[in-house]
């Protein structure tokens, strides 16, 4: 189309001639709109054609070479279309600039509108975007922090005795330091960098205090404050996840009290403390749209209104992060009291939940669970899910590499057919406090597990393939033969148990007959072994920690190891007719030292 005054060629949808400024008649505007809808129709036809061609290629049975050629043709069409569109866009922008030069007032208004629209779009995107990696990253960091806090509570119990339990404090040191070191290798979004560092710092200070027990009393109650910058949508989503975790603890806590299971209640108390710490961080976090840096929430410079559902103390009765955090204090105190053997802990546990009936913030009332069924709802759902995928609950001795917790629980062993690796043995694990983890051989589904030692080694090797491994080479086979000395009130358990095993090392990764551990640059490594059995006759729970120190002796690799095994057995006593008559709890503790030379 041309301007009726100066005869300049006009692009579609212009209202004024960019050369002479003449207003375009209505028939030109209509023709421009017609051209616009023709262009839209052409776009639809183009992309529909490309999509149809791609579908035919994916579903057709043709040689790979032919498919590759067709993909190249389609790619060329898309590039050509993009170039043509870019050329038209450039000419339109040139015409628009010329018009704006001749009409400065219009240019100023247009620029202001564009800037305001762009700024509003950026602000909306920053404050409402969601990061799909956040929930899993937060859950994994919290699982590790729970392990540290549970270990710290064990240290509190050991320090409260008339004579400090040195073996228990050594385990606190080993576990806390081990967790701090492994968290370093966990990849998290940038916004969680300081939270991750807070977890590492917590493990380090607890380990240091466990080694120098004179400083134990100076340990803070929880991990240090951290900075957090998240969008409104992410803040709400993470708050909902925290509420769900808190609500689940009621069911598992009731079960722990029913079984007089102080160990599980210790983990529940640790989880409550970790959620307090996290909710405080969410409550005092900042949005990424603010120009200033996110402040540490210990500044108490104000709180963020992160709310869901109803039943809270806000003006509109919404359930907010502050409500959830306040509700956990009494619950956590009662859980700690029960883990310490408090006489009134059960009553205070029930009462603390009565004071927080809407902890989910959705109006769900938490009532008394059925005590006559074999399993609680969550545990029964775990059994049903295991059966549904052809597995069986048992397999207490199943090696669970990558598990971020030493807590005991239910193990489901099942087979999974991977597209790339075929059928593989896998495991599904539900801890007694409600933690859920998935893992197994390569190709198995994974959930809330640590990155494997092999993956970390491959990643480091890929980062610099030409760099030689640092430190000595420990690769090889190390036979071990020693005797463990045990103390127990369990009838028939010998005081000395012979132990024979073989440790193999490959690429600074140790393997003690299925139990995997990593060896750091100083030659140190920590192996954790767990055993949990739970059936109609009772339960047996054990945890073993083996601390290795590799060294060179006249050019020959060797190691020394110190092992500690602690556990308990709950035996259900029955009358001749099978009715319950009571329970008996036995405890045992075994220790051993060993040394080996590479063969």
Which comes out higher in pLDDT, residue 97 or 338? 338
Non-local CB neighbours of 476 within 8 Å, separated by 6+ positions: 504, 505, 557, 598, 599
Quick check: 178 pLDDT over 90?
A: no
Range 240-259 average pLDDT:
88
3-state secondary structure of 539: strand
Question: Counting beta carbons within 10 angstroms of the beta carbon of residue 357, is it exposed (0 to 12), middle (13 to 18) or buried (19 or more)?
Answer: middle
3-state secondary structure of 77: helix
Provide the pLDDT confidence category of residue 358 given band limits of 50, 70 and 90: low
Q: How far apart are CA 395 and CA 100, in angstroms?
A: 76
Q: Would you state the pLDDT for residue 25? A: 58
3-state secondary structure of 219: coil
Provide the pLDDT confidence category of residue 326 given band limits of 50, 70 and 90: confident
Provide the pLDDT confidence category of residue 299 given band limits of 50, 70 and 90: very low
Range 497-520 average pLDDT:
87
Q: Return the DSSP state at 444.
A: S
Q: How far apart are CA 200 and CA 202, in angstroms?
A: 5
Q: Would you state the pLDDT for residue 268? A: 95
Q: How far apart are CA 268 and CA 349, in angstroms?
A: 12
Q: Would you state the pLDDT for residue 56? A: 62
SS (H, E, C) 161-216: CCCCCHHHHHHHHHHHHHHHHHHCCCCCCHHHHHHHHHHHHHHHHHHHHHHCHHHH
Largest Cα–Cα separation, the chain: 111
Nearest to 182 by CA among 211, 226, 143: 143
Range 523-530 average pLDDT:
83
Q: Would you state the pLDDT for residue 196? A: 95
Phi and psi torsions of 377, nearest 5°: -55, -45
Helices assigned H by DSSP within 355-439? 377-388
Provide the pLDDT confidence category of residue 373 given band limits of 50, 70 and 90: very low
Quick check: 237 pLDDT over 80?
A: yes
Instruction: Write out pLDDT tens, residues 545-579.
Output: 888 999 999 889 999 998 888 777 777 777 777 77
Answer positive or negative: Cα dihedral of 193, 195, 200, 204. positive
Q: How far apart are CA 389 and CA 1, in angstroms?
A: 68
Quick check: 154 pLDDT over 70?
A: yes
Range 309-333 average pLDDT:
76
Q: Using only C-alpha atoms, what is the Rg of the chain?
A: 32
3-state secondary structure of 476: strand
Instruction: Write out pLDDT tens, residues 390-420.
Output: 998 875 556 777 888 888 888 899 999 888 8
Q: Side by side, which strands form the sheet with 436-440?
A: 392-393, 409-418, 422-431, 436-440
Q: How far apart are CA 531 and CA 398, in angstroms?
A: 8
Residue 202 near residue 223, CB atoms below 8 Å: yes
Q: Would you state the pLDDT for residue 313? A: 57
Provide the pLDDT confidence category of residue 33 given band limits of 50, 70 and 90: low
Greatest mean pLDDT among 125-134, 334-343, 394-403, 464-473: 334-343
C-beta atoms surrounding 209 within 10 Å:
22
Which comes out higher in pLDDT, residue 227 or 167? 227
C-beta atoms surrounding 32 within 10 Å:
17
Non-local CB neighbours of 125 within 8 Å, separated by 6+ positions: none
Domain spans of the chain, in order of start:
26-102, 134-357+367-376, 377-451, 471-597
For residue 240, the surrounding DSSP H or E stretch is: helix 232-258
The label of the residue with tokens 């160990």 reads 263
Residue 595 near residue 558, CB atoms below 8 Å: yes
Greatest mean pLDDT among 89-93, 147-151, 579-583: 147-151
- Direct distance between the N- and C-terminal alpha carbons of the chain, in angstroms, rounded to an integer: 89
Stated pTM of the model: 0.66
Q: Would you state the pLDDT for residue 28? A: 47
Residues of the chain by 3-state class (helix, strand, coil), percent to 5: 45, 25, 30
Q: Would you state the pLDDT for residue 296? A: 35
Average pLDDT, the chain: 79
Q: Would you state the pLDDT for residue 350? A: 87
Q: Would you state the pLDDT for residue 142? A: 95
Quick check: 215 pLDDT over 80?
A: yes
Nearest to 520 by CA among 508, 512, 528, 529: 508
Quick check: 54 pLDDT over 60?
A: yes
Nearest to 183 by CA among 138, 245, 241: 138
Residue 591 near residue 564, CB atoms below 8 Å: yes
Q: How far apart are CA 311 and CA 290, in angstroms?
A: 30
Range 14-21 average pLDDT:
72
Q: How far apart are CA 288 and CA 198, in angstroms?
A: 20
Greatest mean pLDDT among 30-39, 131-140, 220-229: 220-229
Quick check: 199 pLDDT over 90?
A: yes
CA atoms within 13 A on the CB side of 587: 3
Answer positive or negative: Cα dihedral of 230, 233, 237, 240. positive
Nearest to 560 by CA among 572, 541, 547: 547
Q: How far apart are CA 188 and CA 190, in angstroms?
A: 6
The region of weakest confidence among 32-36, 261-265, 308-312 is 32-36
């Amino acid at each position: 189309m041309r301007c009726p005054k100066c005869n300049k060629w006009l692009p579609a949808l212009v209202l004024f001639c960019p050369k002479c400024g003449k207003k375009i008649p209505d028939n030109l505007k209509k023709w421009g709109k017609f051209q616009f809808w023709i262009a839209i129709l052409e776009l639809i036809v183009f992309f529909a054609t490309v999509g149809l061609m791609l579908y035919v290629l994916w579903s057709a049975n043709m040689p790979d070479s032919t498919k590759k050629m067709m993909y190249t043709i389609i790619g060329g069409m898309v590039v050509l279309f993009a170039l043509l569109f870019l050329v038209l866009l450039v000419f339109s922008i040139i015409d628009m600039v010329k018009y704006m030069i001749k009409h400065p007032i219009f240019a100023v208004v247009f620029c202001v509108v564009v800037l305001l629209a762009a700024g509003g779009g950026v602000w909306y995107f920053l404050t409402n975007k969601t990061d799909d990696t956040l929930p899993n990253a937060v859950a994994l960091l919290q699982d590790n922090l729970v392990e540290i806090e549970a270990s710290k509570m064990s240290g509190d119990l050991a320090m409260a005795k008339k004579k400090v339990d040195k073996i228990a404090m050594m385990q606190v040191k080993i576990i806390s330091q081990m967790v701090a070191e492994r968290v370093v290798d966990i990849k998290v979004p940038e916004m969680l960098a300081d939270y991750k560092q807070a977890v590492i710092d917590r493990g380090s200070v607890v380990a240091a205090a466990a080694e120098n027990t004179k400083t134990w009393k100076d340990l803070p109650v929880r991990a240090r404050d951290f900075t957090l910058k998240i969008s409104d949508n992410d803040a709400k989503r993470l708050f909902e996840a925290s509420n769900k975790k808190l609500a689940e603890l009621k069911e598992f806590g009731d079960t722990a009290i029913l079984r007089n299971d102080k160990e599980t209640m210790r983990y529940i108390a640790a989880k409550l403390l970790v959620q307090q710490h996290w909710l405080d961080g969410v409550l005092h976090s900042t949005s990424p749209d603010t120009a200033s840096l996110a402040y540490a929430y210990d500044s108490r410079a104000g709180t963020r209104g992160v709310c869901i559902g109803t039943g809270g103390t806000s003006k509109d009765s919404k359930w907010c992060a502050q409500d959830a955090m306040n509700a956990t204090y009494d619950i956590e105190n009662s859980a700690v009291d029960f883990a310490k053997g408090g006489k009134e802990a059960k009553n205070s546990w029930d009462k603390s939940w009565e004071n927080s009936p809407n902890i989910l913030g959705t109006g769900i009332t938490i009532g008394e669970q059925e005590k006559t069924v074999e399993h609680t709802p969550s545990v029964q759902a775990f059994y049903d899910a295991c059966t549904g995928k052809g597995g069986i609950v048992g397999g207490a001795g199943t090696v669970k590499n990558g598990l971020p917790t030493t807590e005991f629980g239910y193990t489901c062993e099942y087979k999974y057919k991977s597209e790339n690796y075929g059928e593989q043995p896998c495991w599904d694990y539900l801890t007694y406090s409600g933690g859920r983890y998935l893992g197994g051989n390569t190709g198995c589904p994974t959930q809330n597990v640590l990155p494997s030692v092999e993956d970390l080694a491959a990643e480091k090797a890929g980062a610099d393939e030409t760099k030689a491994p640092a430190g000595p080479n420990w690769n090889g086979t190390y036979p071990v033969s020693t005797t463990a000395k045990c103390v127990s009130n369990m009838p028939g358990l010998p005081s000395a148990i012979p132990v024979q095993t073989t440790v193999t090392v490959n690429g600074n990764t140790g393997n003690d007959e299925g139990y995997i551990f990593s060896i750091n640059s100083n030659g140190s490594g920590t192996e954790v072994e767990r055993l949990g059995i739970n059936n109609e006759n009772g339960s047996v729970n054990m945890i073993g920690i083996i601390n290795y120190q590799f060294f060179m002796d006249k050019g020959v690799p060797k190691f020394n190891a110190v092992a500690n095994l602690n556990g308990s057995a709950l035996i259900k006593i029955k009358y001749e007719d099978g009715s319950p008559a009571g329970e008996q709890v036995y405890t045992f503790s075994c220790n051993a030292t060993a040394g080996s030379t590479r063969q």
